[in-house]
Amino acid sequence: MNVASESRWRGSTRGRVLKYYLYKSTKAVEFYRPIMYLFFLAQGLTFTQITILEAIYNLTTLFGEIPTGYVGDRIGRRNSLLVGTVLISVTLLGIGLAGSFLTLAVLYVCWSAGYNFRSGSEDAWLYDALTDDLSEGEFAHVRGRGESASLAVGAGAAIVGGYLGSLDLSYPWFVAAAVTGLGAVVLLTLDEPETYKKTETDELSLRRTATIVTGALSQRNLRAFILYYYVLYAAVTYLVFVFLQPIFRTVVVDLGVSPDQVESLLGWFYAAYSLVGAVLSYYTGAIKDLLGVRLWFFVLPFVVGAALIGMYFVPVLALPTFLFARGLADVTRTFAGQYVNDRIETLGRATVLSAMAMVSGLAVVPFQLGSGVISDSVSPLFALAVGGAILVVGSGAILLWERPIREQ
């Protein structure tokens, strides 16, 4: 977001954007992320039960995205965000208190549903709020700054979470629940954008919603992009976050670090990669102005794919790759949101964006299963190398078939 565009906004829009930044800062995932799996193991869960919980989360996401997006379009983006945030806050508190697999399984359903309510509505609300002031072109700038705020807070939260986890593995979940709850308070001060209020939401039936979604997904200027980003790129790069911890452990131990120090180092590493991500996200708008969305999407899959392949042959490359992974993912997600939002209508916007998330969630399942088998048979590094090769070859094939990035 540059000064010139900020000066064009009315006071109401500037206030909304500032509250959006504050809301993004209450996403407290870094508090529990460094100790998450240690907590589950301490509750007596097996690795099989942990993977079942992840599968439950993914299945809830798959089946819940479009229904929650539809609800968001009907009750309003702000209200959908509020429902999701409250649900996540209560779920985090419940996880900290849980002591059995069945309890956690139920909570995982609620957890995923909470994120479903937020996934499409968040970008839809922001885009419509900027459209009120004819500033929808600033979406990438503003969303990037919001991600930066979230990651900057997350850097400190990772360190605090690691320290709290050393006292009691439940404490990070309780703090995360409280901070997430503050986001609900911020959302109560927001209103719905005028662009949304002017749409005929009362006429948004399930049948019309289905027509809007299928129409958007079949657009010539979106179909190749959906395959290129939501199916291929997002699915492969998701594996980076799945295998970060075991690969990090292997690499640093090989470098001479004591195995007893790995957990504490992970907290600091999560803080570092959140800070790097915050810097990259802060300059999302500048990156867009310098390189452009088309060049970014043309080059990035091949750079990331090459890095994943290179890690297998030179494992220490995993550390810088992981360090930049979060920031690159958030910048790319912002550009994808800008590209899709520019090509869909306000009516049904949250549902369409949720459908995109559902496509991505569905695509990642075979990658998860395949990478798990390969990791058990060979190693996580080899699994990521295979993913990198698929990303390079697949991206090249899509580019030969049809340009994924088109002008309006």
Q: What is the pLDDT along the chain (408 residues), one digit of tens a residue?
A: 444 444 444 556 677 888 888 888 887 677 888 778 778 878 888 766 776 787 788 788 777 766 776 776 677 778 888 999 999 999 999 999 998 899 999 999 999 889 888 876 777 777 777 776 756 677 777 877 887 888 788 888 888 887 788 788 899 999 999 999 999 999 888 877 766 655 655 554 555 555 655 666 666 667 788 888 888 898 888 888 777 877 888 898 899 888 877 767 877 888 887 788 888 888 888 888 898 888 999 999 999 999 999 999 999 999 999 888 877 888 888 888 778 777 776 656 666 766 777 777 777 777 877 877 787 788 889 989 999 999 999 999 999 988 887 665
pLDDT of residue 110: 94
pLDDT of residue 196: 60
Helix (H) or strand (E) holding 174: helix 171-188
User: What is residue 134's DSSP assignment?
Assistant: T
Other CB atoms within 10 Å distance of the CB of residue 220: 8
Determine what percent of the chain falls in helix, strand and coil, rounding each to the nearest 5.
Answer: 85, 0, 15
Question: Is domain 3-401 given the CATH code 3.90.1310.10 in the classification?
Answer: no
Q: Where are the domains of the chain?
A: 3-401
Q: What angle do CA 143, 57, 26 make, to 5 degrees?
A: 35
Sign of the alpha-carbon torsion through 299, 304, 305, 307: positive
CB of 296 closer than 8 Å to CB of 332: yes
In this prediction the pTM is 0.70
